Structure 1
Amino acid sequence: MKEIKAFIRPNKVNDIVHHLKDAGFENMTISSAEGTGKLQDEAAFVSQKFSITDSEVAKLELVVNKNDVDKVVHIISEQGKTLNPGDGIIYVSDVNQIYRVKDGLKNGN
């Protein structure tokens, strides 16, 4: 199993999630976040919580079979891009073990 974590523009979340669900990827977590990076956007703001934050981002997380990684990354990239700097980044990590919260049973791997 693989975890895919994508930091994307908030205004692209609905398109990405819609296409992921249409492709059969129903389970994901979406969070609002703040970040900072190389890009200094004209619309940058000073966060009220963190002094170095300069942009709003959305964080999308899902765990998929390793054979589905390329498909998910393609959907996120195609639906999330604006062709402008600061479109985001996608990380793929190994998931060694998965346990259900309700009973502690190991799933998958």
Structure 2
Amino acid sequence: MKEVKAYVHRGRVADIVHGLEQAGFVHLSVNDVKGLLSASSERERTYSIELGERVTNQVRLEVFCEDAEAAEAVALIRKHGRTGQRIGGWVYVSAVEEAWPIEGG
């Protein structure tokens, strides 16, 4: 199993999620984060008191999938995450050693 993690601009995440869902990827999580990506607009920028510098509001997207599906997930994220900037985010792939469902009963 693989974890595909991406740090993308907030304005691109809806298209990325829709693309992944249409391709059958359902094990997704989306979290707001702050990072140092180049902002695509001033609305993405804010000042972090904790870090003492300007940061960019961005999104961390996590997709869990079978090994053979990871390349497709990466391709979809890169396709739908484009911003027109030289670097519009980053995608990482990691191995997941084990995974278990949390059962309700």
Taking structure 1 as the reference length, the TM-score comes to: 0.82
- Percent pairwise identity: 26
User: Is residue 30–residue 60 contact of structure 1 (8 Å, CA) maintained in 2?
Assistant: yes
- Asked if the contact 1:35–1:53 (Cα under 8 Å) also holds between the matched residues in 2, the reply is no
- After superposition, the C-alpha distances for 1:41-93 in whole angstroms (9 at most, x for unaligned) are 77232125542451011000011111011111110000001230441000100
Q: Matches of 1:58 and 1:76 in 2, distance apart?
A: 12
Is residue 13 of structure 1 aligned with residue 13 of structure 2?
Answer: yes
**Greater fraction of residues in strand:** 2
CA separation of 1:49 and 1:81: change in aligned 2, threshold 3 A: same
Aligned length in residues: 102
User: Aligned partners of 2:79 and 2:101: how far apart in 1?
Assistant: 32
Q: Aligned pair in 2 of structure 1 residues 93, 51: CA closer, same or farther (>3 Å)?
A: same
Specify whether residues 33 and 102 from structure 1 end up closer, same or farther in structure 2 by C-alpha distance, changes over 3 A only.
same
Return the alpha-carbon distance in structure 2 between the equivalents of residues 42 and 18 of structure 1: 23
Q: CA deviation at 1:102?
A: 2.5
Counterpart of 2:94 in structure 1 is 93
The aligned runs of 1:1-109 (5 Å cut-off) are 1-37=1-37, 39=38, 43=42, 44-102=45-103
Give 5+ residue unaligned stretches, structure 1. 104-109
Counterpart Cα distance in 1 of 2:80 and 2:39: 23
Return structure 1 stretches of 4+ with deviation > 3 angstroms.
39-42
Structure 2: gaps spanning 5 or more residues:
none
Distance, in Å, in 1 between the alignment partners of 2:63 and 2:88 is 19
* Partner secondary structure for residue 100 of structure 1: coil
Two-structure CA RMSD over aligned residues (Å): 2.1
